[in-house]
Amino acid sequence: MNNVLMTWRGALTDLANQIVAWTEGRNAIPGVQVEHEQELVPVADEPLLQIDVAGRALLRLEPAGYAIDQVPTVVHLYAYPTMRRVRLVGPYEDGWKIQSREGIDMGYDWSAESFHRILDALSNESFPKAV
């Protein structure tokens, strides 16, 4: 396996583990359940995690196929079946960048708080579909 692919997989595995840590254990969000394989192995265009948000939506974290083997890379976080989504681009020294589906920077840092806001927004039917 080449170094770029190992770096790509490592970055995505770290991101997935971070999200799991933000949603399970002492950080658990009521009604939110994360589904994932025991060993997180990133594959392009396949969900790495599925997040059930209180039965309102199923969110998926999916590495973009067009960015495979690239770091920084692109990961989609989207609600199924509505397909509302944001893009996460990174990792950078200061973390992941949160962008609209069109690639416009959303203007806030990647953190547990912003992740929770994204979960709520993507699972809320009144949220604009252009995200």
Question: pLDDT-based confidence at 128, cuts 50/70/90?
Answer: very low
Question: What residues make up the domain containing 94?
Answer: 3-123
For the chain, what is the domain count?
1
Contacts 24+ apart (CB under 8 A), 27-32: 27/112, 29/116, 29/119, 30/54, 31/55, 32/119
Q: Which residues of 68-97 are buried (b: 16+ CB within 10 A; e: fewer)?
A: beebebbbbbbbeeeebbbbbbbbeeeebb
In a domain, 40, yes or no: yes
In a domain, 128, yes or no: no
Strands 32-35 and 73-80: unpaired
In a domain, 19, yes or no: yes
In a domain, 22, yes or no: yes
In a domain, 130, yes or no: no
Q: What angle do CA 34, 115, 22 make, to 5 degrees?
A: 50
In a domain, 113, yes or no: yes
Model pTM score:
0.84
pLDDT for res 1: 60
In a domain, 118, yes or no: yes
Q: DSSP 3-state helix, strand, coil percentages of the chain (rounded to 5)?
A: 30, 35, 35
Write the pLDDT tens digit of every residue in 102-115. 999 998 899 998 99
Write the pLDDT tens digit of every residue in 38-74. 677 888 888 899 998 888 889 999 998 777 767 888 9
C-alpha 105: how far from chain center: 15
